[in-house]
Amino acid sequence: MFEYLTTQLTARLEQLGWPTDRLQLSRPKKAENGDWASNIAMALARDLKRAPMQIAEELMDDLILDSGIVDKYEILNPGFINFFQSADYLTAQVRNILNEKDDFGKGDYGNGKTAQVEFVSANPTGPLTVGHGRQTVLGDTLANILSWSGYEVTREYYFNNAGRQMRLLGESLKARYLELKGESITLPDGGYEGRYLIEVAKALMAEQPDLTDETEIDLFKSFAEASIFSIIKSSLERINVVHDVFYNERSLYEAGKIDEVLDILKEKDLLYDKDGATWFKTTELGFEQDRVLVKSSGEPTYRLPDIAYHREKVARGFDLVVDVFGADHIDAYPDVLSALKVMGLKHEHIQVVIHQFVTLLRSGEVVKMSTRKANFVTLDELIDEVGADVVRYFYIMRSASSHLNFDLDLAKRQTEENPVFYLQYAHARISSIFRRAEERGLASDSVNADLDLLNEEFTVALLNKMLEFPEVLDHCRRSLEVHHLPSYLFDLATALHKFYTEYKVIDLEKPELSKARLALLEAVQVTLRNGLRVLDINAPDQM
């Protein structure tokens, strides 16, 4: 109905010579105000210099709407146009859902287009922590939603295996290795103290037991990198995250891409030297202060390789690029995009999603974490404690722009208080109803069911909620805000439970009504299952 109304109203606006860019349709909060509403008359009032009510009446005058889709419309002060869908249209959607099955909810916006989603991008200095987990699930879910919208999606992991952090990692591993050999050691200042390095040191000793203090640090660094990356990939796979590309920052240096960026910016007179450092004239681009690209030590700041990396992203020709960053990147990415702009490169297709930090709560107390210390909680430990399904749901059940409190007590409850249990129970409940119906000779027969019988209050509410699924997915795609999907699925499960409380599904005295309700529940289960597939959460048939 949304697409139909949009098409009809747009054509009518064009016929009248009125602007079409402000046409919006939304679902009214109250059922008595229809199924869709538009404020287009009020949006055009200033341009047309007419009263909204007059605009609405002229807009709808002579507009012929298919009665099989739209039952009626009404115009209400101060100019809202409310549309009511027909009962035939509503029940026909049940059959459409059952015909589409696994494809219900999929869109075609991205058909023939490519998208790249960069996420995680943690340097291989230690296992993924609960802090990394939010970006991991957020990025992967975004990639799923884009895939459901038709895009060919590349999941990418960008990392740096050079620089100060990796040197410290190698020195830390060397110290742990020598410690295992009985030598008295001191960890380097700012080094990594986590127990995971002791395990890596044991593995190294098993392979190469004769290393000494004279052994080149690069050997320790390379072994640590390979070992930790293996741990990282294993953690990602446990929550069904598999990247297509691992892009190494060092390759940008080896291919001369860093120097190319500096040369281009220098040609445009956007670089200068001060105190031995190379500065980017970002003040000339509208920013409050200039930025250092190369330190006085000769070491680039992370902005420079980020610019070079995004230049390569643009060259690879993606139709959409999505960067998922933590809050610590909020000041950096505008500089990167501005550099692309002044270099004359396409940049409008690059979208940045910034997520806030995660606080892990155990028994109401905050669990403090530090990557270099030994008191952090790994993503693996979190998965072990609450399970992959709960991990994925909890990380995206709040807006990325909001701080997330990950409540372990709630996450471990096997009750309806836990939203993951609540959703999975809804799916399992429908399967249980089907089993009982079949035992009593009332197997679902959606082809012959009389769906006109689906007209009770809570039945219609469940139907309407189910039909929002494609709209919610498309909204997630447009806004890149994935939390709308778990919120919607929770509401759908709530509507299902209300329906089940109000009405008897298996009623041998009313077999036709029972068949209609079973067909409805089959469509609801398709919707729940597809939504959980996008979230990459299991949809169990029994609990």
pLDDT of 299 higher than 60 = yes
pLDDT of 194 higher than 70 = yes
User: Are 70 and 175 members of one domain?
Assistant: no
Q: Residue 17 has which token pair?
A: 């010579």
Residue in this structure with the two tokens 């067909």, named with its chain if needed: 519
Average confidence (pLDDT) over 424-444: 92
Instruction: Provide the pLDDT for residue 372.
Output: 43
**What integer best gives the mean pLDDT of the chain?**
93
170 near 188, Cβ under 8 Å?
A: no
Residue at 153 is within a domain? no
pLDDT of 323 higher than 50 = yes
Instruction: Provide the pLDDT for residue 527.
Output: 98
Q: Which of residues 55, 85, 115 is at a domain's end?
A: 85
User: Are 70 and 174 members of one domain?
Assistant: no
Residue at 186 is within a domain? yes
Rg of the chain in Å (alpha carbons): 29
Q: What's the rounded Cα separation, in Å, for the pair 517 and 454?
A: 7
Domain that includes residue 443, residue range = 416-535
Residue at 370 is within a domain? no
Instruction: Provide the pLDDT for residue 2.
Output: 82
Instruction: Provide the pLDDT for residue 371.
Output: 47
User: Are 73 and 179 members of one domain?
Assistant: no
Banded model confidence at residue 366, pLDDT cuts 50, 70, 90: confident
Instruction: Provide the pLDDT for residue 152.
Output: 98
Q: What's the rounded Cα separation, in Å, for the pair 164 and 170?
A: 10
Residue at 290 is within a domain? no
Instruction: Provide the pLDDT for residue 369.
Output: 58
Residue at 450 is within a domain? yes
CA angle in degrees (0–180, nearest 5) for 439-444-447: 155
Kindly give the pairing relationship between strand 80-85 and strand 152-159.
unpaired
Nearest partner of 495 among 465, 517, 538, judged by Cα: 465
Sequence-separated (6 or more) residues with CB below 8 Å from residue 177: 201, 204, 205, 211, 220
Exposed e or buried b per residue across 49-75, where buried means at least 16 C-beta atoms within 10 angstroms of its C-beta:
eeebbebbebbbeeeebeeebbbebeb
Q: What's the rounded Cα separation, in Å, for the pair 305 and 62?
A: 60
pLDDT of 49 higher than 70 = yes
CATH of the domain at 47: 3.30.1360.70
Instruction: Provide the pLDDT for residue 375.
Output: 58
- Model pLDDT for residues 212-233, shown as the tens digit of each residue: 999 999 999 999 999 999 999 9
Sequence-separated (6 or more) residues with CB below 8 Å from residue 505: 433, 437, 514, 517, 518, 521
pLDDT of 16 higher than 60 = yes
Nearest partner of 38 among 52, 51, 18, 17, judged by Cα: 52
3-state secondary structure of 372: coil
- Model pLDDT for residues 492-513, shown as the tens digit of each residue: 999 999 999 999 999 999 999 9
Percent of the chain with pLDDT over 70: 98
User: Are 422 and 526 members of one domain?
Assistant: yes
Q: Which of residues 208, 238, 268 is at a domain's end?
A: 238
Q: Which of residues 85, 115, 131 is at a domain's end?
A: 85
Residue at 146 is within a domain? no
Q: How many domains does the chain have?
A: 3
User: Are 80 and 180 members of one domain?
Assistant: no
pLDDT of 373 higher than 70 = no
Residue at 420 is within a domain? yes
Average confidence (pLDDT) over 150-177: 92
**β strands within 252-343, DSSP E:** 271-274, 277-280, 291-294, 320-326
Instruction: Provide the pLDDT for residue 64.
Output: 86
Q: What's the rounded Cα separation, in Å, for the pair 335 and 300?
A: 15
Instruction: Provide the pLDDT for residue 410.
Output: 94
Residue at 143 is within a domain? no
3-state secondary structure of 272: strand
Q: What's the rounded Cα separation, in Å, for the pair 411 and 396?
A: 13
CATH of the domain at 444: 1.10.730.10
pLDDT of 135 higher than 90 = yes
Banded model confidence at residue 326, pLDDT cuts 50, 70, 90: very high
